């Protein structure tokens, strides 16, 4: 039976980034994912915000052109509010290619990535799969999505509050549109969230998300109705794809780690409660998770895991969790019209710009990361 230092369940961006960092620290790392190809089962739009682009070395050739304009629409779709930044605020990635790039990076660091293997359960370090022989693992990293089975088996917290989202995506004729992010606040098509069109001049993503209990006809029906006349949508020039899935919006979970393992990415609730963006937090928390795991496995001291404390990170979410509750309460077109009208004021525009263009979308893990790294010996902190 194969024995590994760390088993990572889930080959999304959080799982692969964590695996790479752990392998660079000299640990024996194995990653498993039930998908046979990382180009299938993609659940994210792939929108990277400026803060992520500034702080992480992302492959530029896999990112679309920069987007600086955001247009906010009321349910009537009339007179949208235009917000323009003097910097590129968003870039949309080819996520299939980003995952493959992350896989190669993890494997180059020494991690073993095995696809087509479904996690079944784990107990006392013994991990069982469908599609492969069991392994024993000193530590398990749950990167297996919003409804994590690893969290269940480790006795850690689980996500309880979800949006469900769906989108279509397709190429557009180059040079025919100006890159822009169109956001429609309309509870009839996106109860508790937004309908969106992001067009970077190369591809268009059209999507909706909302609370599933307020979508009696289903998210796909609402998406098709929205896409029929969505503002800013260009004519497809190639195949139209679909993707979607649950989005945890309850904030970072409180209990994220135990001596047997920890959670990263959507499994950890590492998604902004207000914007529902998860790519920036998954990278930041993966770095902290890798540093904490390396120290714990090197020292055997469970106190090292206290640095990976979701309860402490949640204190930075208080304002956005409140705004999430207010956002969830917008259940009529009249209320949505009133909200957009309020955002037309100077103070309203400043608030909208701070949310859409600000640097505070996710708690800063740097102080905890520095402390974790300081307890790692120099020859293992690569």
Q: What is the pLDDT along the chain (382 residues), one digit of tens a residue?
A: 899 999 999 999 999 999 999 999 999 999 999 999 999 999 899 999 999 999 999 999 999 999 999 999 999 999 999 999 999 999 999 999 999 999 999 999 999 999 999 999 999 999 999 989 999 999 999 999 999 999 999 999 999 999 999 999 999 998 777 899 999 999 999 999 999 999 998 899 999 999 999 999 999 999 999 999 999 999 999 999 999 999 999 999 999 999 999 999 999 999 988 888 999 999 999 999 999 999 999 999 999 999 999 988 887 777 788 888 888 899 999 999 999 999 999 999 999 998 899 766 565 666 555 666 655 443 333 3
Strand-pairing partners, residue 118, are 130
Strands 29-33 and 112-115: parallel
| pLDDT for the residue 32 | 98
Please give the pLDDT value at position 367. Answer: 57
Instruction: Tell me what pLDDT residue 366 has.
Output: 61
Helix/strand/coil percentages in the chain, nearest 5: 35, 25, 40
How far does Cα 359 stand from its chain's mean position? 16
Phi, psi dihedrals of residue 66, rounded to the nearest 5°: -70, 145
pTM of the model: 0.92
Predicted pLDDT of residue 313: 82
Q: How far apart (Å, rounded) are the C-alpha atoms in residues 99 and 106? A: 10
Residue 382 tokens, joined:
């690569």
pLDDT of residue 320: 80
Distance (Å, whole) CA 203 – CA 285 = 29
Give the SS3 label for residue 368.
helix
pLDDT of residue 314: 82
Pairing of strands 69-73, 81-84: antiparallel
Interstrand relation of 203-210 and 47-49 (parallel, antiparallel or unpaired): unpaired
The sign of the CA dihedral 134, 138, 140, 141 is negative
């Amino acid at each position: 039976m194969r024995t590994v230092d760390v088993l990572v369940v889930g080959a999304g961006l959080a799982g692969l980034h964590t695996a790479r960092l752990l392998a660079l620290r000299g640990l024996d790392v194995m990653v498993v994912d039930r998908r046979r190809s990382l180009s299938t089962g993609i659940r994210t739009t792939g929108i990277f915000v400026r803060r992520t682009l500034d702080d992480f070395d992302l492959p530029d050739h896999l990112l679309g052109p920069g987007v600086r304009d955001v247009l906010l629409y009321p349910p009537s779709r009339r007179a949208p509010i235009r917000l323009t930044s003097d910097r590129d605020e968003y870039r949309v990635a080819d996520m299939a290619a980003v995952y493959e790039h992350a896989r190669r990076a993890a494997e180059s660091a020494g991690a073993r990535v095995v696809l087509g293997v479904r996690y079944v359960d784990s107990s006392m370090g013994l991990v069982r799969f469908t599609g492969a022989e069991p392994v024993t693992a000193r530590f398990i990293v749950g990167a297996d999505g919003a409804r994590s089975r690893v969290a269940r088996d480790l006795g850690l917290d689980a996500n309880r509050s979800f949006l469900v989202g769906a989108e279509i995506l397709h190429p557009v004729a180059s040079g025919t549109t100006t890159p822009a992010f169109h956001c429609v606040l309309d509870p009839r098509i996106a109860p508790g969230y937004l309908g969106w069109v992001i067009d970077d001049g190369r591809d268009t993503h059209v999507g909706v998300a909302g609370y599933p209990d307020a979508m009696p006809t289903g998210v796909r029906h609402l998406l098709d109705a929205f896409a029929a006349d969505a503002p800013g949508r260009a004519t497809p020039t190639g195949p139209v794809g679909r993707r979607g899935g649950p989005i945890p919006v309850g904030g970072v979970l409180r209990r994220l780690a135990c001596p047997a393992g920890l959670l990263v990415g959507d499994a950890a609730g590492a998604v902004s409660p207000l914007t529902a963006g998860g790519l920036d937090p998954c990278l930041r928390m993966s770095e902290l998770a890798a540093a904490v795991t390396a120290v714990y496995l090197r020292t055997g001291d469970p106190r090292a895991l206290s640095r990976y404390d979701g309860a402490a990170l949640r204190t930075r979410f208080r304002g956005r969790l409140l705004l999430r509750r207010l956002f969830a309460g917008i259940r009529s077109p009249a209320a949505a019209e009133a909200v957009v009208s309020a955002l037309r004021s100077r103070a309203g525009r400043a608030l909208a710009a701070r949310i859409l263009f600000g640097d505070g979308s996710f708690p800063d893990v740097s102080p905890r990361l520095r402390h974790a790294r300081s307890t790692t010996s120099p020859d293992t902190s690569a």
